Amino acid sequence: MEREPAGTEEPGPPGRRRRREGRTRTVRSNLLPPPGAEDPAAGAAKGERRRRRGCAQHLADNRLKTTKYTLLSFLPKNLFEQFHRPANVYFVFIALLNFVPAVNAFQPGLALAPVLFILAITAFRDLWEDYSRHRSDHKINHLGCLVFSREEKKYVNRFWKEIHVGDFVRLRCNEIFPADILLLSSSDPDGLCHIETANLDGETNLKRRQVVRGFSELVSEFNPLTFTSVIECEKPNNDLSRFRGCIIHDNGKKAGLYKENLLLRGCTLRNTDAVVGIVIYAGHETKALLNNSGPRYKRSKLERQMNGDVLWCVLLLVCMSLFSAVGHGLWIWRYQEKKSLFYVPTSDGSSLSPVTAAVYSFLTMIIVLQVLIPISLYVSIEIVKACQVYFINQDVQLYDEETDSQLQCRALNITEDLGQIQYIFSDKTGTLTENKMVFRRCTVSGVEYSHDANAQRLARYQEADSEEEEVVPRGGSVSQRSSIGSHQSVRVVHRTQSTKSHRRTGSRAEAKRASMLSKHTAFSSPMEKDITPDPKLLEKVSECDKSLAVARHQEHPLAHLSPELSDVFDFFIALTICNTVVVTCPDQPRTKVRVRFELKSPVKTIEDFLRRFTPSCLTSGCSSIGSLAAHKSNHKSGSGFLSTPSSDGMLLRLERLDQPTSAITSNGYSSQADDWASELAQEQEPERELRYEAESPDEAALVYAARAYNCVLVERLHDQVSVELPHLGRLTFELLHTLGFDSIRKRMSVVIRHPLTDEINVYTKGADSVVMDLLQPCSSVDARGRHQKKIRSKTQNYLNLYGAEGLRTLCIAKRVLSKEEYACWLQSHLEAESSLENSEELLFQSAIRLETNLHLLGATGIEDRLQDGVPETISKLRQAGLQIWVLTGDKQETAVNIAYACKLLDHDEEVITLNATSQEACAALLDQCLRYVQSRGLQRAPEKTKGKVSMRFSSLCPPSMSTASGRSPSLVIDGRSLAYALEKNLEDKFLFLAKQCRSVLCCRSTPLQKSMVVKLVRSKLKAMTLAIGDGANDVSMIQVADVGVGISGQEGMQAVMASDFAVPKFRYLERLLILHGHWCYSRLANMVLYFFYKNTQRMSVQRQSSLLGLYLPSRPRPIAVEQVGLLTHTVTSAKSFDVLELQIPSLYVG
Amino acid sequence: MAMNYNAKDEVDGGPPCAPGGTAKTRRPDNTAFKQQRLPAWQPILTAGTVLPIFFIIGLIFIPIGIGIFVTSNNIREIEIDYTGTEPSSPCNKCLSPDVTPCICTINFTLEKSFEGNVFMYYGLSNFYQNHRRYVKSRDDSQLNGDSSALLNPSKECEPYRRNEDKPIAPCGAIANSMFNDTLELFLIGNDSYPVPITLKKKGIAWWTDKNVKFRNPPGGDNLEERFKGTTKPVNWLNPVYVLDSDPDNNGFINEDFIVWMRTAALPTFRKLYRLIERKSDLHPTLPAGRYSLNITYNYPVHYFDGRKRMILSTISWMGGKNPFLGIAYIAVGSISFLLGVVLLVINHKYRNSSNTADITI
């Protein structure tokens, strides 16, 4: 066990800790004798002890109980709940009114029957639901799990429900965690384990979890009996991505606990033989269950409108009853004294006063006219909606074969809102585009590599996707189309829905099949994997490789390279390692047999740092202290030893890369589809496939790109990354820190120790706007600085070019740290890490301190391909009168390009671009645009003011203005201007302008801005809004909109979890809105209207007779009002009307 | 459109392409029910379907209406108000309660003879027989001859349940307010000697009422014995067992009583009083001429502004006189026909200028 830094706080006695229970939770081992229990060994006392322990810790056990009722409490509780519904209260009120003798109801008992029936039905349904919940609870509660038993001194099988906080649990591979467990021991020699969180967030990639520091070093197997530490952690909360706490050992030492140490209930253990952990949160306190909030309940517009109508009905009922009551009072008053033969006095012979009679009459009228209030309508609507949801779910044309998923309705009661949408807010990445990141081109050290062959290869996929007859001659036309823009123009747009399936043949079908096969790993379609390298760059890389292989054993191997080659080398190293990609091999288990290194990392303590970075250690091959250190340095200095793996006894890897390294001269991963492109590849035997599992697709794209250049990421452990190069062999980089990506920094960094130079390098990868600002200021005095400056400006030019082509750009940069700098930074970083309170903020600061003075290596351009059918869908939705706004976080050029590609913007229409740098400028610009748009709207012709204004807001296509005079312009606004425009004083103007525009494109917008825009439109324009997105950044927008649609795509499941409807692809939106939305709305609206009609009809007969009579309800007569089978509305639709409706989108009255 | 579906089925209907043998997909079943393709008929209203319907309705309804109207007009009906509120009326003297019994005679003339069976009604106006409490104020089991209910009538009858500690038979407000005028009809011939016209008392009630719903209490032959222990309704002059001399038309099964007990829905109503049967095919039942109506005036309606009428009417296959039905038929038929014409003109005029053909596939 390591020694802790001396400065840590002394933990107080447990008693004091418990007083702070309000903020934190204290967990101790259940195996320790509880204070006061003198006889722990007695088996009989076990139950009692447990009870006492439960008492002492006040913690929930792991029993899952989602049922609402018990056998005894069912009736009162259920009735109580049912009477929370106004409808039921109304029902009972009416029924009880029947029993008031004065209202002279005919059969009071009969009136009770329907009420009881409805109550009974609901109660039965609740009972059944509760019972099925109970059954599933029972099943889950009785799952088995290995729990350490104090009595038997070994792990015994227990039910899940018997697990308590503080128990030690042992899980084997592919088992599901029964509770939130702190990882204490893993069979993995590095103290790692992999989990799959698909049950929680749907992400299928493996995540890595790590044994609590201090336990990973144990050589022998972890023994729960010796665990005496106390764990302090947060109170149970529902934040899946956060866990904070610390573990206090016996000797008073303290170590921090992080999210990486926690195994959440519901996740599955993968690729690790066994783990042992202590239960921290159990049962309903687990994060998974705290996150499990029931289905969303949104009220649809129709329903809100209907509620209003029902209120009107109530008002009408009261008015009519009142009218009758007054009339009756007058009648009584008139006839009472007249000895009318038909006047019946009360039973005691006296006569009612007119007022009393009027009151009684009022009550009676309420009973008689109760049908006016369509209580049954609510029940019917529920049924119809359930059917509609079922039919939408079952629509085979909303089924996506590639992902094997169909549309899911997650909100059950807003189906008809789909037919009322006026504004669609769409995300770009992953929604309009596929979010399949394909490496397109890169620039290294100021030189651009256009990757023509790769572009050609991608064109193949697209052509296979579109028209078959358009066969490109193999190999011949390599550089016909070099830019993406031309590809998109080639793409044939006019495909009809019905014929599409035919044409998905050839390589596309193959790709599809492959993607279906490898569905469980994310981001690995052949299109993304097989990148054809640029020959020029490939040559440079292999040159680097060769010269480094020669110079490896010299003092400064990198110094032999020219600056450019060194940049190229660093560039690819950065591409390969600056990520969090996990390497898996589909054929083999990820478990590895390997002698453990003493080396533990990431560097966690100063002592650790000092020990590992003492000068004596740094000079490779020098005499070292102890054999372990010798191992380490041996490993470090001889990083090429894998080229002769069999001779090295240190690493007994399950070899999967044992073919001659020289054979890998080119891309060995080419599929049959693009063999035409790989003249370089002399068809070697196919290498066993490595699979990369990344958290975001562009990471994977970059790693695959690097692999195409023979810079292969072969292994990633938490402390080291291995890269394989053809000549250099395997280089193992010691991974000191990983500063993960976040949306504020917009970059990620890794800190590594370079095996060749032993320097500490920081590789940073991030958005160009951010990284370019963090570069080392270069003086223009010396030649090197000037050169750097030139490279930088060149790179910036290329970045702009990439942006214009619609590529996603990333900058790669590097920083070399001196030992002193590193030590200095490390200290503050460690402080930040160990701080319990605001460590996130501190870590953020620490990351910013590290990522400065960067040296620019290059930039990459990744293409985000447009999804199938997006332009067609957009134009159809447009025809249906829907306004489409695109809100994206991407930069303006990329966004505008994608917008053109998907026909959101048209080349012959005007584009108003709003880029303001200050509040005032924004206001002025808005005013100007407004004036312009208004004058334009008035004159309806290209007017003279246009020229003047377009200077200011850069109309993108002035020449074609005359043709587009009838159209409204489009608006492009960037994030900063959007922030100004969304201010209180400008939002009206902005909205007014946006209303005039055909489409609106907001770039560089944050998730918050997205939701603000949606909220603004929703509240100010009183419009029905639909938000569609796929990523976590769209969640807020999806939640704000009236209808939220999630794309069940690649970026995790957060958007889907927040959404009301989840579609597999953007194009399904067309059918969902224009067909199903319209159907649902018109059917439901018709039904509601019919219900009102029917009820008023029934009522009006009553009314009529009472008017002809004496303002008194006459005896209800059987009135035949035909009841229409409600389901006929939904089930029997006109045959083939979907086609009609899709053909004429204007039927969708937006 | 059907083509489209077939094409789709062909493409998608095959086994899901899953080379690895993973046939289990989440693809929804392609069945007519789930894909909402069940055969259904949804009328699409076009000129071609709507116009003929309008014309057909017009052409059918107008003749029917005319037929009914003519039939209704052929029915003879005469109404004579004998309330006597007008000072000139012969019955005016009977308004004061002192004159008992008050008999008044009203003369009237039939312009045309009444043929076939003639029905004699009495009509009341402003009489709310549909009052909620009034309607309920009866005991059906008592009227059905239940002996326990006879002596212990239902509470619904209050306050006309007991009188002087004796149960009222028949109890309740309806029975209490029974119409008790006596109407007699005389034909005044040329010799000015009035000839009484035979009025048939029986056969005016529903068969089920007479034979099922209303029964006298069980007991011996003597009806008075059977009603022993009960008292007459407050307003009645005589007990229920002296309503008529005919034992088959006395007590609860007196048909005048039964007719009265079937309450009217509207405040103005008529109830069948007597039948005048056709004597022979050759002579009209009531030939044209002068008649006199003899009224034994017992029933006070002027307190509550009511009216009393005597109605004589013949019937046809469609019941009594009812001009409304015929008029309604004619009106509906004419409107429909008119609409048809208007729509035809509109369609003819604007058919080519719109593209409705696209929408109405």
Q: Does residue A780 have a pLDDT over 80?
A: no
B45: contact with A, CB 8 A cutoff:
no
Chain B residues lying within 8 Å of A1113, measured CB to CB: 132
Q: Return the pLDDT at A1027.
A: 92
Q: Which of B5, B132, B261, B308 best probes binding to A when mutated, by most A CB atoms within 10 angstroms?
A: B132
The answer to whether residues B150 and B60 belong to one domain is no
The answer to whether residues B246 and B328 belong to one domain is no
Please give the single-letter amino acid code of residue A331.
W
The answer to whether residues B286 and B170 belong to one domain is yes
Q: Return the pLDDT at A1135.
A: 33
Q: What does the block give as tokens for A798?
A: 């290329």
Our measurement of the distance from residue B105's CA atom to the centroid of its chain's CA atoms, rounded to an integer in Å, reads: 30
B2: contact with A, CB 8 A cutoff:
yes
> Cα separation of A133 and A837, whole Å?
39
> Cα separation of A558 and A577, whole Å?
18
Q: Does residue A981 have a pLDDT over 80?
A: yes
Q: Does residue A488 have a pLDDT over 50?
A: no
Q: Does residue A948 have a pLDDT over 60?
A: no
The answer for A28, left when phi > 0, alpha when psi is -120 to 50, beta otherwise, is beta
Q: Residue B27: inside a domain, yes or no?
A: no
Q: Does residue A867 have a pLDDT over 70?
A: yes
Please state, in angstroms and as integers, the Cα–Cα distance from residue A717 to each residue in A9, A207, A602, A759, following that order.
32, 12, 11, 20
Q: Does residue A1118 have a pLDDT over 60?
A: no
> Cα separation of A1030 and A202, whole Å?
13
Percent of chain B predicted with pLDDT > 90: 32
H or E element, residue A320: helix A301-335
Summarize pLDDT for A429-483 with one digit per residue, the tens: 778 887 677 888 888 887 888 777 777 776 666 555 444 333 333 433 333 333 3
pLDDT level of residue A293 (50, 70, 90 thresholds): low
Our measurement of the distance from residue A1026's CA atom to the centroid of its chain's CA atoms, rounded to an integer in Å, reads: 17
List the domain range (segments joined by +) for residue B120.
80-315
Please give the single-letter amino acid code of residue A779.
S
Q: Residue B16: inside a domain, yes or no?
A: no
Q: Does residue A942 have a pLDDT over 50?
A: no
CB atoms < 10 A from the CB of A226, how many? 12
Summarize pLDDT for A670-715 with one digit per residue, the tens: 333 344 433 333 333 344 567 777 766 777 888 888 888 888 888 8
Q: Does residue A642 have a pLDDT over 50?
A: no
Q: Return the pLDDT at A626.
A: 37
Instruction: List phi, psi (to 5°) of A497.
Output: -55, -40
Q: Residue B196: inside a domain, yes or no?
A: yes
Q: Residue B216: inside a domain, yes or no?
A: yes
Q: Residue B11: inside a domain, yes or no?
A: no
Q: Return the pLDDT at A671.
A: 38
Contact A1001, A905 (CB under 8 A): yes
Please give the single-letter amino acid code of residue A422.
Q
Q: Return the pLDDT at A1130.
A: 34
Of A302 and B356, the structure prediction assigns the larger pLDDT to A302
Residue A1111's closest chain B neighbor by CA?
B131
Residue A399's closest chain B neighbor by CA?
B27
pLDDT level of residue A556 (50, 70, 90 thresholds): low
Contact A292, A190 (CB under 8 A): no
DSSP string, A357-368: HHHHHHHHHHHH
> Cα separation of A69 and A76, whole Å?
10
Helix (H, G, I), strand (E, B) or coil at A545: helix
Please state, in angstroms and as integers, the Cα–Cα distance from residue A973 to each residue in A506, A618, A912, A965, following that order.
41, 53, 8, 22
Q: Does residue A647 have a pLDDT over 50?
A: no
| Window from A759-773, A1103-1117, B71-85, B139-153 with minimum mean pLDDT | A1103-1117
Do A395 and B131 count as a contact with CB atoms less than 8 A apart? no
Q: Residue B34: inside a domain, yes or no?
A: no
Of A1116 and A846, the structure prediction assigns the larger pLDDT to A846
Q: Does residue A746 have a pLDDT over 80?
A: no
Of A100 and A605, the structure prediction assigns the larger pLDDT to A100
Nearest to A501 among B11, B18, B173 (CB): B11
Do A1110 and B267 count as a contact with CB atoms less than 8 A apart? yes
Q: Does residue A16 have a pLDDT over 60?
A: no
Of the residues B274, B294, B315, which one is the last residue of a structural domain? B315
Q: Return the pLDDT at B293.
A: 92
The answer to whether residues B206 and B330 belong to one domain is no
B24: contact with A, CB 8 A cutoff:
no
Q: What does the block give as tokens for A826?
A: 């490390």
Q: Does residue B60 have a pLDDT over 90?
A: yes
The answer to whether residues B180 and B275 belong to one domain is yes
In DSSP terms, A255 is beta-bridged to A247
Q: Return the pLDDT at A235.
A: 82
> Cα separation of A89 and A103, whole Å?
19
The answer to whether residues B220 and B261 belong to one domain is yes
Q: Does residue B198 have a pLDDT over 80?
A: yes
The answer to whether residues B114 and B251 belong to one domain is yes
Instruction: List phi, psi (to 5°) of A998.
Output: -75, -40
Chain A stretch 99-158, residues whose beta carbon is closer than 8 A to a beta carbon of chain B: 104, 106
Q: Return the pLDDT at A21.
A: 43
Q: Does residue A965 have a pLDDT over 70?
A: no
Q: What does the block give as tokens for A387?
A: 């059917």
Residue with tokens 């080229």: A643
Does A969 sit behind a cis peptide bond, omega within 30 degrees of 0 on the bond before it? no
pLDDT level of residue A389 (50, 70, 90 thresholds): confident
Residue B157's closest chain A neighbor by CA?
A347
Residue with tokens 């076939």: B116
A593: contact with B, CB 8 A cutoff:
no
Summarize pLDDT for A1015-1071 with one digit per residue, the tens: 899 888 888 899 998 877 787 788 888 888 988 766 556 677 778 888 888 888 888
DSSP string, A1012-1059: HHHHHHHHHS---EEEEE-SGGGHHHHHHSSEEEEE-SSS-SHHHHH-
Of B43 and B144, the structure prediction assigns the larger pLDDT to B144
The answer to whether residues B247 and B330 belong to one domain is no
Please state, in angstroms and as integers, the Cα–Cα distance from residue A779 to each residue in A277, A776, A789, A812, following that order.
55, 9, 8, 21
Summarize pLDDT for B273-329 with one digit per residue, the tens: 999 998 877 788 888 888 999 999 888 888 888 899 999 999 888 888 888 999 999
Chain B residues lying within 8 Å of A1115, measured CB to CB: 130, 132, 135
Mean pLDDT on A939-944: 42
The answer to whether residues B289 and B328 belong to one domain is no
Chain A stretch 1082-1141, residues whose beta carbon is closer than 8 A to a beta carbon of chain B: 1105, 1108-1110, 1112-1115, 1131-1140
> Cα separation of A578 and A814, whole Å?
10
Which residues have a Cβ under 8 Å from the Cβ of A359 and sit 6 or more positions away?
A325
Do A342 and B303 count as a contact with CB atoms less than 8 A apart? no
Chain A stretch 721-750, residues whose beta carbon is closer than 8 A to a beta carbon of chain B: none
Q: Strands A712-716 and A262-263, how do they pair?
A: unpaired
Q: Return the pLDDT at A1113.
A: 46
Residue with tokens 């400006």: A793
Q: Return the pLDDT at A108.
A: 72
Mean pLDDT on A265-287: 81
Q: Does residue B46 have a pLDDT over 80?
A: yes
Q: Does residue B177 have a pLDDT over 60?
A: yes
Our measurement of the distance from residue B2's CA atom to the centroid of its chain's CA atoms, rounded to an integer in Å, reads: 54
For all residues of chain A together, what is the average pLDDT? Answer: 70
> Cα separation of B293 and B187, whole Å?
9
Chain A stretch 354-383, residues whose beta carbon is closer than 8 A to a beta carbon of chain B: 364
Of A102 and A737, the structure prediction assigns the larger pLDDT to A737
Cα–Cα nearest to A1004, from A914, A927, A940, A923 = A914
Please give the single-letter amino acid code of residue A14.
P
Q: Residue B153: inside a domain, yes or no?
A: yes
3-state helix, strand, coil in chain A (%, to 5): 45, 15, 35
Please state, in angstroms and as integers, the Cα–Cα distance from residue B105 to each residue in A207, B186, B306, following that order.
111, 10, 20
Chain B residues lying within 8 Å of A406, measured CB to CB: 26-28
Residue B267's closest chain A neighbor by CA?
A1109
Summarize pLDDT for A493-515 with one digit per residue, the tens: 333 333 333 333 334 444 444 44
The answer to whether residues B144 and B245 belong to one domain is yes
B88: contact with A, CB 8 A cutoff:
no
Reported in sequence order, the residue ranges of A271-337 that DSSP labels E, i.e. its strands, are 274-281
The answer to whether residues B154 and B127 belong to one domain is yes
Please give the single-letter amino acid code of residue A58.
H
pLDDT level of residue A280 (50, 70, 90 thresholds): confident
Do A339 and B127 count as a contact with CB atoms less than 8 A apart? no
Taking the CA atoms of chain A, what radius of gyration do you get in angstroms? 36
Domain count, chain B: 2
Of the residues B299, B315, B331, which one is the last residue of a structural domain? B315
Instruction: List phi, psi (to 5°) of A37.
Output: -85, 110
How much is the ipTM here? 0.75
> Cα separation of A979 and A973, whole Å?
10
Chain A stretch 489-508, residues whose beta carbon is closer than 8 A to a beta carbon of chain B: 498-499, 501-502
DSSP string, A541-561: HHHHHHHHHHHTTSS-GGGGS
Q: Residue B278: inside a domain, yes or no?
A: yes
Burial A1082-1114, CB ≥16 within 10 A → b, else e:
ebbbebbeebbebbbebbeebbebbeebbbbbb
CB atoms < 10 A from the CB of B241, how many? 23
In total, chain A counts a number of residues equal to 1150
The answer to whether residues B310 and B336 belong to one domain is no
